[in-house]
Structure 1
């Protein structure tokens, strides 16, 4: 499947000078953020590229500086007729085609979303079970971290007396909670820090760890649900999201192939 986000990012990089150079040549607002000759960066232009409501001043300043750098380099390139050089024209035309292609494909999938039923995912999983085999020892576990050790101790006691869902419901909304993760499925090498992995490896299914202080001001309780050894295949419900992701990719590949076949006929393609 074509990775649209990566492809578009690459093409935008190629076209960066052109895109920035065409920025706002309308009558500028009086409170423009920056200007280079007759090019202006206004608040409205900035808002098209970044979330201006949730951005640090340092990040905003960096963006403005990058805009200015691009503008002056673009204008100098025009002054030296770079835009008329054969290689520049060739690459720009190619990039425009690639960008248009990516937007068309994205538009196609937006207008033709993949529709499926729950049974379709199960059938896909059953027919391709071997492809979901695990490459390393893997752990399915829950984890909850607090910035208050006493709360972590109390949570662990509640967990031991009940179960994960009941215990987390008791502490729902507690401001001392730093992170909560349920049904995490990770290869052993993915579990960080490594000291946490060592603790989980020693747990039995259903067992809760002691309160762990593996990072400053972070008190964590983990509960092992199940361990999978290398080459095992997790149950469908455990990897349902991964199955859906692969299924959608598979169906999009099929749909794109059919779309291309129709376009081949429309534009009378001949390949010698």
Structure 2
């Protein structure tokens, strides 16, 4: 089929983009026939560690050799490869078009729509196990972690967080009003410590490893079968709403295409 030939030509052309060109200035690091690997490309994929760079270069060379050997053996004419490429191309085109279609039809829910969805789908937001609403921050400096913790205890978590964020190099991870389920709390010493905390309590600084110092505030406890307030899970409500509405939107779109194209089912 002509379409398959185009598909193969397309993929073969893609594999060469960025590899060929005028390298008369010797700016490349490695050459295999007419394909080139530059320092810029290497640096974009691996660190300056010589072992990683050497491994990456070796893998690149092997990949080029396999590719040329495959073409030399006319693998592009193999029916199985044509079938695989055709299937892969269809899947890539479908995924790309769906992503583009959803981007063109952005889902921007209002607060009232989210509240209505929350009430309508209450079962989605009912806890099947004990859960906890927490704030958590992980810093790279032990003394700064204690400084943050003491400020949060004496004053306010948000105010202490605002101060610590002035030095972005200190902050590794932050969770704000995040829900942790019971089965997650069984993993690791930090999570087990949270099990023993009471609502409103702020933990001591917990050292998780080299330069990893975590502070947790337990905001609220939820028993199995209970439901949170809308504001407590608003971000989750919006995420689930967008997923649900995207599926609904694609279903509507698919139905509209039935009348556009010739379809026969036997």
Question: RMSD over aligned Cα, in angstroms?
Answer: 3.1
Which of the numbers 73, 78, 85 marks the counterpart of 1:85?
78
In structure 1, the partner of 2:33 is: 37
2:248 paired with 1:254 = yes
The answer (yes or no) to whether the contact 1:20–1:70 under 8 Å persists in 2 is no
**Secondary structure of the corresponding residue to residue 57 of structure 1:** coil
The answer (yes or no) to whether the contact 1:144–1:222 under 8 Å persists in 2 is yes
**C-alpha displacement of 1:126:** 0.8
TM-score (norm 2): 0.79
Q: How many residues align?
A: 252
Provide structure 2 residue ranges, at least 5 long, that are not aligned to the other structure. Answer: 1-10
User: Matched residues in 2 for 1:219 and 1:42: separation?
Assistant: 39
**C-alpha displacement of 1:26:** 4.6
Range 234-243 or range 159-168, more displaced: 159-168
TM-score (norm 1): 0.78
CA shift in 2, pair 1:34/1:264, >3 Å: farther
In structure 1, the partner of 2:153 is: 160
The answer (yes or no) to whether the contact 1:28–1:40 under 8 Å persists in 2 is no
CA shift in 2, pair 1:19/1:130, >3 Å: farther
CA shift in 2, pair 1:268/1:219, >3 Å: closer
User: Matched residues in 1 for 2:146 and 2:38: separation?
Assistant: 52
In structure 1, the partner of 2:104 is: 111
**C-alpha displacement of 1:127:** 0.4
User: Matched residues in 2 for 1:181 and 1:263: separation?
Assistant: 43
**Secondary structure of the corresponding residue to residue 224 of structure 1:** strand
Provide structure 1 residue ranges, at least 5 long, that are not aligned to the other structure. Answer: 1-16
**C-alpha displacement of 1:130:** 0.4
The answer (yes or no) to whether the contact 2:185–2:194 under 8 Å persists in 1 is no
